[in-house]
Structure 1
Amino acid sequence: MGNRLKVSAQNRAEVRKQAQKLRREGLLPGVVYGKQLESKNLSVNRKEFEKIYKQTGESTLVDLTVGSEKPLTVLVNAIQRDGLTNEILHVDFHEVDMKTKIKAKVILQFVGEAMAVKDLGGVLVKNVTEVEVECLPADLPKGLVINISKLKTFQDSIKISDLEFDHEKVKVALKPETVVVKVAEPRTEEELKELSEKPIEDAVESVEGVVKEEKKEGEEGKDGEKKEETSPKEEKKS
């Protein structure tokens, strides 16, 4: 199992009140499942997990040991967070088969300084911040580091095909020519002025459109009433 990070866990009963109690005790409720594994409810030390999660995210294999059982090779499949505090409330571990390809999202890490930003005053544009990959678990990239110091002009860009990983073993959902990051030219004073004025113009056009529509409906209503008044009355046959 090499130098993979290790997580220790304990079995737990699936009771909502117990989950709340576990959190108060500094434990994190979770579950582990897989194709060949019956789902198990478990708990892990919150601080230890948060420390490991910062290093691994959801794209690194981890050795999970539940009690005295044999370690499982897993990925962090999902976490649930508190909407207000952003605190982790629950974690899902997914056991992987080392012989079966998996899909996982890998976060892109941008390092360095773009010369086109520093020297030319451009704006760094990150079109892609994570990629979905498909590969065998052993070939899963731990993280993709992108050195943006290569961006020296506004014509330079870094594409999917430029990312450093084994493109034969690891397949990315995006096309090779997809631009990941580039530097855009700074806007001129005229462009900035146009952008600041556009919302006002759009608002005026929107109001005018509503007024015209209401006026049109009013005219149609009058025409309709007029037609009813001038329509011939039915004559009774003697």
Structure 2
Amino acid sequence: MATVLKAEARNMKDSPTALRHAGRIPAVYYGSKTKATSISLAGKDFEKVWRQVGETGVVILATPAGELPALIHDIDRDPVRETIRHADFYVFEEGQRIKLKVPIEFVGVAPAVKDLGGVLIKVLHELEVEAAPKDLPRSLIADISILVDFKSIVTAKEIAIPTGVVLITKPDEVVASVYEPKDEPVEEAPVDLSAIEVEKKGKEAKEGEEGVLDSDAKEAKGAPPAKGEKK
């Protein structure tokens, strides 16, 4: 039996901030044959229902206009507090089939990761399916234990699809694989030969200057005094 969620007509004079301060969440419901209508919900009640059914579970919106079967189509969270700030509901008709993206739940241990040191790559996180609202699964299970080596992959067709649900995502789409890390060679820092050559030339030049100075000093010491100069 679907969960019932009580909704009240929203007074558009009340700002979203004022509603949230009062413990309520502004929301809207709409459908292929239902016009968009603004409502408000008790925040705690909605949080509880959201944890139970997510985006694929059917809820009954108890509105002033009557009870409406719906899916929680979207939510908006505060980026800092992560509290729910707004919710959208999609109202469906009896007998209607719905296309929806269902989250993938990865289970098991991949031998290529555990034994071979590979890195698990989750290529897809959702699969698109079509089903009657009552048949929509909360999630789809991907068993990664079949990833035995670096050539193994999990494709969409290898994920178990419940009865009454049709897979819309292409069957050969890769859902998960394993990456093989490769040891990169350590490159030695290049030696700047020009700098060594310049330094060498500088040293030779300095030694040459010192030799000239020593020679000049010796010549000055052994030279005879100039004419008229006393020793």
Is TM-score (shorter-chain normalized) higher than 0.5? yes
The list of structure 1 runs, each at least 4 consecutive aligned residues, that deviate by more than 6 angstroms after superposition, is none
Residue 92 of structure 1: aligned partner: 88
TM-superposed deviation, 1:88: 1.7
Render the CA deviation track for 1:71-100: whole Å, top value 9, x for unaligned. Answer: 211011122223443332111111011312
Q: 1:49 aligns with which of 46, 64, 75?
A: 46
Q: Is the 8 A contact 1:97 1:137 kept in 2?
A: no
More helix by share: 1
Match of 1:182 in 2: 177
Opposite residue 35 of structure 1, the aligned amino acid is S
SS of 1:186's equivalent in the other structure is coil
| Structure with the greater alpha carbon radius of gyration | 2
Structure 2 counterpart of 1:158? 154
Query: Secondary structure at the residue paired with 1:154?
Result: coil
Q: Which amino acid in 1 is paired with 2:144?
A: I
RMSD: 2.4
TM-score, normalized by length of structure 1? Answer: 0.70
Q: 2:60 is aligned with what amino acid?
A: D
Deviations 1:43-83 (A, max 9, x none): 1121221232233222222222125x542110111222234
Q: Any residues of structure 2 matched to 1:36-75 within 5 Å, and which?
A: 36-67=33-64, 70-75=66-71
Structure 1 runs not aligned, ≥5 long? 198-238
The 3-state SS of whatever aligns with 1:52 is helix
Map Cα deviations across residues 152-196 of structure 1 (whole Å, 9 max, x no partner): 222222110011114874131x31111101112122233xx69xx
Please say if residues 98 and 138 of structure 1, whose CA atoms lie closer than 8 Å, have aligned partners that are also in contact: no
Aligned to 1:203: none
**Identity of counterpart residues, as a percentage?**
37
The one-letter code matched in structure 2 to 1:183 is V
- Matched residue SS, 1:58: coil
Counterpart Cα distance in 2 of 1:169 and 1:145: 14
Q: TM (normalized to structure 2)? A: 0.72
| Structure 2 counterpart of 1:228 | none
Render the CA deviation track for 1:101-155: whole Å, top value 9, x for unaligned: 2221111111222222111111000000012222332332221122222322222
Q: Write out aligned runs for 1:216-227 (5 A).
A: none
CA contact (8 A) 1:98 1:136 kept: no
Is contact 2:57–2:136 with CA below 8 Å preserved after alignment? yes
Structure 2 counterpart of 1:71, one-letter code: E
Tell me, in whole angstroms, the C-alpha distance in 2 between the residues paired with 1:47 and 1:168: 33
For the residue of structure 1 that corresponds to 2:35, the secondary structure is: strand
